[in-house]
Structure 1
Amino acid sequence: MDRTRNYLLIFAGNLVAAYYIFEEGTFAKPLMFATFMLLLIMTIDYMKSRTKYTLE
Structure 2
Amino acid sequence: MGSLLDLWTTRYDEMKAIIVAIPSLAEQTTIANFLDRKTAQIDQAISIKEKQ
TM-score, normalised to structure 1's length?
0.46
The answer to which structure, 1 or 2, has the higher relative contact order (CA under 8 A, 6+ apart) is: 1
Higher alpha-carbon Rg: 2
TM-score, normalised to structure 2's length?
0.49
